Amino acid sequence: SQSSEKHLGQFYTLPSAHFRPLFPHGLPYRYQQQVKTFNEACFMVRPPALEVISYLKKADYSKPALRYLFYGVKGSGKTMSLCHAVHFCYTQGWVVLHIPDAHLWVKNCKELLPSSYNSARFDQPLQATTWLRNFRTTNEHLLSQIKTKRRYVWTKRESTDEGRPLGELVNQGISRVKSSSDVVGALMKDLRLQSSQPGADFRLVVAVDGVNALWGRSTIKKENKSVDLEELTLIHNLKKLMKNDWTGGAIITTLSQTGSLYTPKSAYLPQELLGETGFDSMDPFIPVSVPNYSEKEFESAYLYYLDRKWLQHPQSRTEDGKKELSFLSSKNPSMLDRICGFL
Amino acid sequence: MESTAKKRRCSFNKDWETTYHWVKPVQGDSQRVFCEVCQSSFSVSHGAPERSGREFGSRKPRREEGEPRTEKMPLDQDWTAVYPAATPFRAGSVPLPVRMGYPMKGGVPPEKKGNLELIKIPNFLHLTPAAIKKHCEALKPFCTEWPSALDTDAKCDEHFPIKVECTDYVSSGLSVRNPSARIVQLKVKLSILNLDDHARKKMLKLVGERYCKDTDVLTITTDSCPLRQQNYDYAQYLLTVLYHESWKTEAWEAEKTVADMEEYSWEGSPSQKNIMDMLLRMKVAGEGEGEEVQEQLLARSEVQEYKDSVTRLKNEGDNESSVLQYKEAVKKVFNL
């Protein structure tokens, strides 16, 4: 994509060929509805995403993976910035490991099985299978090219040999629900090892939304005892990915208070949401602030809504109406979206 | 006219008006009469009005209330005479248009006349500055002069670093004694005491809530003994003991963990390990393991900056500027 400084504040449309495979999950719900209504996916080019994209362009991929963290108040556009950066990586042909919301993995778990690989841990088959399906949709074209590096044994009769395409591994996980969490873990490990190899022909981008879930608390209960996060296979493997001991890729994350458990509503700064352990694990990382819309960006968003005939109320077209919208939403992207939904 | 063997219901009789001058007929209902004294009507179907004995001249007619005192108050009056002592709020004596209470729908808080909310709460109308002045004037003969040499706060702190505060209570009642008079408050600035680093940290941990960081004042309040003399001695004893104990180092203090530390120290923290790891892997300082490489890395300015920013983040907590500083430092380390 041709995003650069010149295009700050302007919208660029995602080609629909990219949209379907890239974002089966990961976009905010309201935005997905908007895409359906307007029949096009438009991202606003904003400084935080541009900054991260510029770092991605400049970075040296023989060095350990850099970690970027989007933080900001609720509704300021962190997930959207993440998706923008992920789209950039996708156009460059990277393998996209996008976890839409890490909070979903630590709460409301309907099925919890003891792990087959490590008896102390717990598996979450449903979440793992949904995620594997989405992963397959996103990386369809690359999965056939990358081969596994090791042999994985699932049960006495099933195993995946070395040198088989990764696509087979993923299919294995989707069909055999019981071992899906272990497949996820194996996939992560494999990708991590492979992209670190000097001769690797692909790069890996790990995008996690709501990364503070990894070091928070969980509400999943096993026989009335709250499950510790370390005991969940998915979380354990994801934490291993977060460590920057691999090269040839980048880790882009966002903080999210909205889904997080046991955090106050006003918390949005990195240390507040990550906690001591989270910060120490993510350290050193590059925190990127995602503020509310600036004047120019607000104008741009307003004109976009006008252009798509989203604002029907006659008064919304006046100068006064615009000032009112700016004041009511205090230039917060999601608030603006919600208010305009009524007009 | 009363008759116990009546078989019919009574109704209004004109003669009653002459006998009882407070009786008036009620229109539309001959079975009821209207009493002018209590401004209400009652039924007479069971007999003559004099049955309700309470009406029969036993009630004095209610007199008119005069205008409130507030109307007659001159502007330069002596307020201390209106409220010489602590009394409940009197709407007629306070010339202020005070309103208090919950405003009902579309209304305003109720006015002061007959307002129970204003009467319930304690008021300090008897303690206006003029009244305080009068109290001070009355107490002056019993006081001594403030020493003229102690005219600034700094001088007072210098000569009298320990300040002891006790309160005396005066009341008129069955007994002059007041149990609250035994409380003694001892205030001292920690900068006066000769404490080294370890002693200061230990002292702060020992006293806990009693220390105010902004003014550097340690406040010891004692009220466990029944007499003021005893409490004062106890407070002095506590101060001495705190001082001596904080200088001693116990064997178990060696088990102090990271969680006990008051401030964040970067050396030996996971953050240092992380960055060292990273830099080694990035092979920034060239090949070779060992201590010199580590020291070389530490001496680099980016690493120093990074260390400062992390220490600031951890000690101060989060705020926009410290996070930005951290970001700049990390960017420099990665050469972005």
Cβ-contact A252, A205 below 8 angstroms = yes
Question: Any CB–CB contact under 8 A between A51 and chain B?
Answer: no
**Which residue in the block uniquely carries the two structure tokens 């995620």?**
A131
Say whether A287 and B326 touch across the interface (CB within 8 A): yes
Say whether A288 and B327 touch across the interface (CB within 8 A): yes
Smallest Cβ distance to A66: which of B270, B323, B334? B334
Q: What is the mean pLDDT of each run of 10 residues along chain B (336 residues)?
A: 55 65 66 64 58 59 85 88 90 90 90 91 93 94 90 89 91 88 93 90 91 92 94 95 92 84 76 77 60 71 82 80 86 79
Cβ-contact A7, A296 below 8 angstroms = no
**In chain B, which residues have their Cβ closer than 8 Å to the Cβ of A71?**
323
Cβ-contact A217, A92 below 8 angstroms = no
The whole-number pLDDT of residue B117 equals 92
pTM: 0.70
CA atoms of A192 and A186, how far apart (whole Å): 10
A95: which strand partners? A204
Cβ-contact B112, B91 below 8 angstroms = yes
Q: Which residues have CB under 8 Å from A15's CB, separation 6+?
A: none
Cβ-contact A248, A65 below 8 angstroms = yes
Question: Any CB–CB contact under 8 A between B271 and chain A?
Answer: yes
Preferred mutation among A263, A280, A283, A286 to probe B, highest tally of B CBs within 10 A:
A283
Question: Any CB–CB contact under 8 A between A280 and chain B?
Answer: yes
CA atoms of A17 and A1, how far apart (whole Å): 14
pLDDT exceeds cutoff 70 at A188: yes
CA atoms of A69 and A211, how far apart (whole Å): 9
CA atoms of A221 and B155, how far apart (whole Å): 64
3-state secondary structure chain B: CCCCCCCCCCCCCCHHHHHCCCEEECCCCCCEEEECCCCEEEECCCCCHHHCHHHCCCCCCCCCCCCCHHHHCCCCCCHHHHCCCCCCCCCCCCCCCCECCCCCCCCCCCECCCCHHHHHCCCCCCCCHHHHHHHHHHHHHHCCCCCCCCCCHHHHHHHCCCEEEECCCCCCCCCCCCHHHHCEEEEEECCCCCCCHHHHHHHHHHHHHHEECCCCEEEEEECCCCCHHHHHHHHHHHHHHHHHHHHCCCHHHHHCCHHHCCCCCCCCCHHHHHHHHHHHHCCCCCCCCCHHHHHHHHHCHHHHHHHHHHHHHHHHCCCHHHHHHHHHHHHHHHCC
CA–CA min distance A317, chain B (Å): 36
Nearest residue in B to A58, CA atom: B336
- Rounded average pLDDT over A77-87: 87
Residue B42 phi/psi, 5-degree rounding, is: -140, 165
CA–CA min distance B184, chain A (Å): 40
Q: How far is CA B238 from CA B194, B212, B231, B235, B248, in A?
A: 16, 18, 10, 5, 16
pLDDT exceeds cutoff 60 at A103: yes
Say whether B313 and A271 touch across the interface (CB within 8 A): yes
CA atoms of B217 and B314, how far apart (whole Å): 26
**Best CA proximity match to B312, nearest among B304, B322, B303, B302:** B322
- List the structure tokens of B226: 């029944």
Name the 3-class secondary structure at A129: helix
The amino acid occupying position A280 is D
Question: Any CB–CB contact under 8 A between A294 and chain B?
Answer: no
Preferred mutation among A51, A67, A242, A271 to probe B, highest tally of B CBs within 10 A:
A271
CA atoms of B21 and B37, how far apart (whole Å): 10
β pairing state of A204-209 and A159-160: unpaired
- How many C-beta neighbours within 10 Å does residue B288 have? 10
CA atoms of B293 and A192, how far apart (whole Å): 28
ipTM reported for the complex surpasses 0.85: no
- Show the DSSP H helices in A39-112 as ranges: 47-58, 78-91
β pairing state of A11-14 and A41-44: antiparallel
CA–CA min distance A82, chain B (Å): 18
Question: Any CB–CB contact under 8 A between A130 and chain B?
Answer: no
Question: Any CB–CB contact under 8 A between B258 and chain A?
Answer: no
Residues A138-187 have pLDDT tens digits of 888 888 778 777 777 777 677 777 777 888 888 888 888 888 888 888 88
Name the 3-class secondary structure at A82: helix
Cβ-contact A104, A127 below 8 angstroms = yes
Nearest residue in B to A69, CA atom: B327
Say whether A71 and B323 touch across the interface (CB within 8 A): yes
**In chain A, which residues have their Cβ closer than 8 Å to the Cβ of B319?**
269
- Rounded average pLDDT over A320-332: 87
Q: How far is CA A1 from CA A17, A25, A71, in A?
A: 14, 21, 24
Say whether B330 and A286 touch across the interface (CB within 8 A): yes
Q: Which residues have CB under 8 Å from B287's CB, separation 6+?
A: none
How many Cβ pairs closer than 8 A exist between chain A and B? 55
Give me the residues of B, 277-306, that contact A with CB < 8 A: 278, 281-282, 306
Give the mean pLDDT of chain A: 83
**Best CA proximity match to A209, nearest among A238, A173, A248:** A238
- List the structure tokens of B187: 């205030």
**Crossing angle of helices B228-247 and B197-207, rounded to 10°:** 140
CA–CA min distance A54, chain B (Å): 9
**In chain A, which residues have their Cβ closer than 8 Å to the Cβ of B270?**
280, 283
Say whether A63 and B313 touch across the interface (CB within 8 A): no
Q: What is the DSSP letter of A331?
A: T
pLDDT exceeds cutoff 80 at A335: yes
- List the structure tokens of A340: 């305009």
- Rounded average pLDDT over A44-73: 85
A221-252 burial: b if 16+ Cβ within 10 Å, else e: eeeeeebebebbbbbbbbbebbbbebbbbbbb
CA atoms of B164 and B160, how far apart (whole Å): 10
The whole-number pLDDT of residue B22 equals 63
Name the 3-class secondary structure at A120: coil
